[in-house]
Each structure stands twice: as structure tokens, then as C-alpha cells.
Chains A and B, each alone.
Chain A
Amino acid sequence: MTQVVLFNIFNGLIVGAFYALMALGLSLILNLSGVINFAHGGFLAIGGYVAYTLIPYVGFWGALVLAPVLTAILGVLVERVLIRRLYGRDPLYSLLLTFGLAFIFEDGTRFIWGAQSLPFQVPGWLMAPLSSDYFFLTGYRLFMVLIVAIAVIGLFLILSYTKLGVRIRAGTLDLETVSVLGVNVRILRNMNFGMGVYLAGLAGVLAVGQLGLQPTIGSSLIMPSFVAIIVGGLGSLPGTLLGGFLIGVASGVTTVFFPSATEAVIYVMMAAVLMVRPRGLLGEEGRF
């Protein structure tokens, strides 16, 4: 029993790392632009499908690099054409827009690639478990955690040391002042949206390595990421990371004791956090 619990905690951290990757992209967009991007799951699915389409030409590694970039370009276009018009209005407008986009993306992928699950293959040597005892620690999952770590560190470096990053952070705190200081807020938001969608595309390629590639993949992965943000705290990227890990472990441990509540437990956690500490574990007071 102890072993099963320990295994599930460990496994929960791996699963949580993935949720965190998705949630970071969401959080990035939410913090700067105040857009609750319900279409994030749709971007994730597109990342997966684009990778599947590219693999015959550029191989898995090429697709891993290219698919998130192409998804990010789509993100930049969507922001430029649709979302930009809604800044400054009630967040409900952009929420409704992205909610609609999520359906369009899901049906769009179904239209282009079909409803049938597609067999997405990753290189064989990544597939095997590293040890017979810790069988859930496969090369691919370790690789996934590594990529998440690189993405997170990369994101923190960009936000801390580049001009774009400093502007994004400043904009998150006070967009008006940043704008008055001569920063082009439109481009800033556009780039920031692209970065968030890049993370969704990356999560998409990683996800389809271990899940079936189907049009519903985005909608089934999006909710845990929202919960991660709310539990971790709005406005805080470290909080988002923490939220991802927490819900991964919580649902893993729940499997041991009450398996049919594995999905419900994360919402119970969210409700508890909202009641006791509405700003989330590491969130800022008074934001949203």
C-alpha cells in the first residue's frame, strides 16, 4: 500500500509537470492581457495534429521544434485579427470569443484530420520503462519532464533578462504606465499571446506521444490547467507551477483510495482554495 501511494505521488509529479506546462501558457496570457483563453486546449490539439502531419517529412525531433512554432504563429494571427478588438472590454467578451474558438478548433481538426484517433509514434528508444520496478518512469515521460523544465527555465530567463520579458512583467503589474512610457502595448500583447500559445503547442506535441491523437484531446486537458492556475494563484507563474504539481499529486493519490473521484478531487481542491484563500496559494491580493 505504501509503495502504491509513493509511486502515485511520484507519478503525480510527472503528470503535474505536464499540467503546469499548459497552465503556464494560459497564465501568461491571462496575466498580461486579462484574456481567459478557453481556446488553449484547441491550440494544444492543433500542435499535436501539426506535429503528426510533419513527422513523415521532418521526423519526430523536427516536428517537436516546428509544430509549436507554427501553432504560435496561428496564435499571433488569432490575437491580431480577433482578440485584439476585445481588449478594454469586460473579460466576458474575450472569454466568450475563445470559448467559441475552442469549438471551432475542435470541429476544424475533426474536419481536416477526421474523427478517427490517429496513431502518433515517438522514437522506439524513448518508449521503454527505465526500470522494471519504476515501470511508470519511461524514457518518454522523463524526457517530457525535461522539456517542461527547459521550457519553464527558458520562460523565467526570458521574463527576467530580456527587454520583452521585463516589459511583459511590467505590463502585468501596470499596463497603462508601461504604455505611457512609450512601449507599444499592442505588439507586447501580441508577442505574449504567441508565447503562451507556443507553450500550448509544445504541450500538444508532448501529450500525443502518450495519449491518442483525437479532436477532443484539447478539451479533455484544458480544465486541469485552469484549476492549476486558480489553485496556484492568479498572477503568479511560480504559483501556476505549484498548482500543476499539486493537482497532479492529488488526483494520483485519490486513485489509490477513491478511484472514481480522481477527476472530481481537483475541483474539490479548487473550491476549497477559493473559499479559504480566494487569491490562490501564491496569488496576488486584489487581482481579478
Chain B
Amino acid sequence: MSKDPISVPVKRRTILKAGLALGAMQVASPFVTKSLADEPVKIGLDNPATGTYAALGKNELIGCQLALEQINAKGGILGRKVELLVEDSTSGDAGTAVEKARKLIDRDQVNFLLGNINSALAAAMANVSYEKGVFHVVPGGHTDPITGANCHWNVFRVCNTTQMEANAVAGTLIKTAGKKWYYLTPDYAFGHTLQAGLEKAAAALGGTKVGGDLTPLGTTDFSSYLIKAQAANPDVIIFLQAGDDAVNALKQAVQFGLDKKFHLAGAQQELEVLIGLPPEARIGTWVFEWYWKQPNVAHVNDFVADIRKRSGGHVPTARTWFGYAATHTCALAAAAAKSLDAVKMAKAMQGFKLPPEVALMPDGAFYRAAQNQLIPDLYVGNAQAKGSDPEDLFNVTDVVKGITTAGTVEDTGCKMTWPA
């Protein structure tokens, strides 16, 4: 009878030898790996693929992938091929987002870190990338401190700050809708700073706050908040929810007929939300951070066509552009610095103007020096039930130059210190 292979005794020395061999491999491996030029440059994307921001995350990813193809088609970064590593940060769990960021940096040794849509997660990731000294681009987390009071030399941001969005839309709202505002605000970093920004912008123009409620992230039923809002009798009910929360809130407000009694509006609005709403609920005055219908701006039509090919015919949203611009930022930084050294790249990006085929806006976009915040155009306008295309759901009435909304670097509270 043959011996049971499981019960073969293993000698202590065999285990010791195996352990030693494994240890030697760890130390020895760098000397036997391929030359550096063959190693791809790695970009790590740590963004929501599940939860309330999954749709936004998907679109940012599509933008990243298109940029990646374009970069590789032009010879990669510093002659090396570029790879995108994607991790699901979840939509609201900062612990997971940080753990994934650490994994990307420590184990996968990424050269660039991208993320996150959720402001709180983006802020948590920024602490990790700062500690590790990794070049980090935040494509779509809006809360002010990321490029304000908590700014870091290595953290760049593509999307606007909440204060910029608030400043862009406040004047239009006061003029067209009235001065008494009631706020429905998601109860986390993004909502808090967006509301504070709007209050500040409105106060400067004579607007007042007549009330407001913080709604937990992931709220499905907004009816009790809407009952309170209508009792306060404001001119405008301001909805600051994003993603699926915004769909739920607006759908219910319109079903209650509140759009016929008050002006329903807000600051940031996204195409993903408008697509998810039934036509009658596509209403209100908002800010878009990028819009796909810009017939007179160079390269936009090519970008739209390229994205349509990759997304089953859907148009790019602001999120797609965030991912696209963020990924290109990595390649542009390395090219400008002629190096993958994070400090050199960050220094090269101070005041850097994005080329028109990446900026895709009438006035272009640049990273403001000493803050690392992209200063783009903002698109103020109204949601519309139908347009020339099934996904043409926003009518831009005003393109606002970002620099007029951004205040000074001192205003933002950013005091950047560089590594010695």
C-alpha cells in the first residue's frame, strides 16, 4: 500500500531550508528582475465601484482608460508603458479607501495615485499619499480643505472646490429665484463645505438662510425633510445631494409638486443624476463642471466620439472628463519634470496650463500655483426634460471663468510646505 502523501513527515531541516530560500528570493529578486525601462509606470485608481457613487466611479474610470490608451499610443510616460491598477474604495468607507491606497502604494508601488469621488475618502487618501510622498490627483472629491486648509504639495485636484461652485451659481440664483434659501444638505464633508460656501456667497449678495437640514448619506425617503422645507416657505429649496441621493430627493420633491411652489435648485449637478430622473423631474438651476455639448470648442467633439465608442453610445459626463484630465495630468507632470520623482513633478505642475485637447473648455484650465487646484470654466444653466440628444439634458446659459470664483490662495487657507 502506498503511503498517504498527506502524512509524509516533513523534516525540520527541509522547512528551514525552504524558509531560507524564500527569504533569499525576497532579497535577491531586485537584482534579477527586468531592467527599469521594461517596467511599466503604474497609476493606481482607488475610487468607488460599488455603492451610491458606483455610476460616477464607472464614468471616471472610462475617462481614465481613454487617457491611458492615448498616452500609451504616444509612447507612454518617459518611454515606458503605462498601466492602470483599479481598486474599489467603496462609496463611503474611509477605512477601505485608505487600506486600498496603502496597498497600491506599498505593494503595487504605483507612481501615481488617483481618487476619490467621496470627499471624505479623498481627504483620508490624501493623508496617506502625503505621508508616502506619492503624486496624487483627486479627480472628483469637492470638499474645500483638500486644496485649502489641508492642502499638500503632492495632492492635485481636477474638480472644483465647493466654494467655486457656490460662487459660480449664487448670483444667478439670487437674480432669478429669490433671496430666501432653505438647504437640504448631505451630512458629510462635501455637503458641509458646499452649504457653507453657498451661505457665504449668498450673504455677500444679500441672500439669507431661512432653514436647512442635514440628511444622512444614503437617505432614500426625503418626504419628512420636504415637509419641513415647505413649512419654512423659502424662495428656493437648495438640494446639495449628489449621486443616487440627489435622484431620490428631486424625484420626491417633484412628485409633491414643490417645483410649482418654489424654485428648486442647487450648486453642483451631474448628468448621471439627470439621466436617472424621469423627464418631469429634470428641473432647476445648477452648475455643471463640464458639459459635452460645446460645438465651438476644439477637440470636444473628438473626445465625445471616442467616449461614445467605449461606453455603449453614452456621452461623456463631467466625471468622465475628471478621470480623463486626472490621468493626463500624471503623464504631463512626468513629461514636464522629465522624471518620476514626485517632488520634481509637483514643482513642474505649479501654474501648469493643460493643453487644449485635455482641457476641452473655452478658456482652458490651469493648476494654480501654491494650491494645486485646477482652475477651469464652470457651466451655469438649467436642467431640461429633453434636448437635441437623449442625453442633452442641460441648457448652459453662462460659462463662468473659474478664476472669478476661486478667490485668492490666501482665501483658501492653503499654506503649502515642500519637503526639504
Contacts and interface: CB of A to CB of B under 8 A. Distances in A.
A binds B: yes
Nearest to A252: B224
Contacts of A214: 52, 55, 244, 247, 276
Contact of A7 (B218, B227, B277): B227
Interface in A118-138: 118-121, 127-129, 132, 135-136, 138
B246 to A, nearest CB: 9
Interface in B208-240: 213-216, 218-221, 223-228, 230-231
Interface in B245-303: 247-248, 251-252, 255-258, 261, 272-273, 275-280
A211 B251 contact: yes
A216 to B, nearest CB: 6
A118 B272 CA distance: 10
Interface string A229-243: 000000000000000
Contacts of B231: 3-4, 7
- A interface bracket (residues with beta carbon within 8 Å of B): 35 or more
B273 A117 contact: yes
Contacts of A263: 216, 219
B251 A210 contact: yes
A117 B223 contact: no
Contacts of A136: 223, 226-227, 256
B251 A8 contact: no
A262 interface: yes
B272 A212 contact: no
Nearest to B232: A4
Nearest to B217: A263
B50 interface: yes
Interface stretch (A59-67, A72-80, A107-115, A181-189): A107-115
Contacts of B58: 114-116
B54 interface: yes
A172 interface: no
Nearest to B274: A119
A110 B48 CA distance: 13
Interface centre among A119, A120, A121, A129 (most CB of B within 10 A): A119
Contact of B228 (A12, A127, A256): A256
A121 B278 contact: yes
Contact of A119 (B220, B223, B224, B278): B278
Given A127-B255, A138-B256, A255-B225, A110 B278 contact: no
B51 interface: yes
Nearest to A254: B224
Interface in A193-229: 210-217, 220-221
Interface in B67-125: none
Contacts of A138: 255-257
A11 B223 contact: yes
A128 B255 CA distance: 6
A27 to B, nearest CB: 21
Contacts of A120: 278
B74 to A, nearest CB: 30
Given A214-B55, A217-B220, 13 more contacts: A14-B223, A107-B50, A116-B58, A117-B55, A121-B279, A132-B257, A136-B223, A212-B276, A255-B228, A256-B224, A256-B228, A262-B215, A262-B219
21 contacts: A107-B50, A110-B54, A115-B58, A116-B58, A117-B273, A117-B276, A119-B278, A128-B257, A135-B258, A210-B255, A211-B220, A211-B252, A212-B251, A212-B276, A216-B51, A216-B52, A217-B220, A221-B220, A255-B227, A259-B213, A259-B214
Interface of A: 3-4, 7-8, 11-12, 14-15, 106-107, 110, 114-121, 127-129, 132, 135-136, 138, 140, 210-217, 220-221, 251-252, 255-256, 259-260, 262-263
